[in-house]
Amino acid sequence: MIGQAAARAVIAQIMRPAPLPFPLRLTGAMPIVRFGSAASALYVSGAIGTRTPDLIVGKLITLHAVGLFSRATALAGQIVTLVSGAIGAVFYPAFARLRDAGEPLAPAYYRVVASYTALIWATMAGLALGAEPLVRAVYGETWIEVAPLLSWIAISEFLFVMLPLHVDIPMLLGRTGTLIRLNLLDTGAALAFLAFASAHGVEAAAQSRIAYGAAWVLVYARFLHTLIGFEWRVMFKIYASSAAAALAAVIPMLLAYRFWVGPEAMAFWQLAVVSAAGGLCWLGALALLRHPSWSEIMAIATPLLARLGKPRPA
């Protein structure tokens, strides 16, 4: 990592030459030190919450259980990142501009909540129901014990996306101290729930993520409400609409399990067909419900469709 940082510094200097300050001075360093210290504290707290579960599950259950639990949490986390990774990168600078202009943050936050819940709730609902055929296709029959754990962890992700940008916005608004205290409380709750549940087996450990998710919402809800000023009435309307769209997305899978092939026998191509049908049902539900994300999707799709429909020049 040190070599990488040095290489980046050299390449940056070659591409954009700038005079190096000499002698070195510490003038103006304190704001950077304060921000870096706060960011490091948040990173350490988050790392404890992310890495310690392996130690707890390994100590209280078995190393075999650690492998199952880690594989399930990693797969769910990768899918969440794949689905939502680009959203935060788009909205964070938008919030910075709103802050600098003194404009209210709530309208933009509603759009963020709508985008996150619409995408991730539908994906996690499909993951919870399709965990068994997906694990069999991706990892093989040897890892089939991961499937029930993956289902529980996917359900818990419904809670963790109810209040997106819970770290970014407080840091943007200069409330890092309060954020660190809440983050420590959040990490403590995660470890406490996991330690208690692990005494009852690895599936109970996965189920504890749901209890932790509920506690996570309680920890951050009032804080973010104070910072952003959103209305709970609007938030719950978005939640209800996203939940209905997620239900529509899994109807093809439920019908397939009932009338076509069960999860224990479903092949990957069948899972892909059912998932594609679920995606179409999800889009239809967003349109019928006039979900806030539908306008975002159309704003992206309309230029693409227009470009595809244009005749090519001779």
| Per-10-residue mean pLDDT, the chain, length 314 | 92 88 80 81 77 84 90 88 71 80 90 92 96 93 94 95 90 87 90 92 94 94 94 96 96 96 93 96 94 85 71 48
Give the domain ranges of the chain. Answer: 38-228
Model pLDDT, residue 248: 97
Sequence-distant (6+) residues with CB within 8 A of 176 are 35, 38, 42, 170
Q: What is the pLDDT of residue 313?
A: 43
Rounded CA gap, 142 and 128, in Å?
Answer: 19
Residue whose entry in the numeric block shows the structure tokens 């075999």: 64
Distance (Å) of CA 170 to CA 86, 180, 214, 224, 251: 20, 10, 20, 8, 38
Per-residue model confidence (pLDDT) at position 302: 79
pLDDT at 102: 85
Long-range interactions of 3-9: CB distance < 8 A, separation 24+: none
Query: What's the pLDDT score for residue 46?
Result: 74
pTM given for the model = 0.84
Neighbours of 108 (CB within 10 A): 16
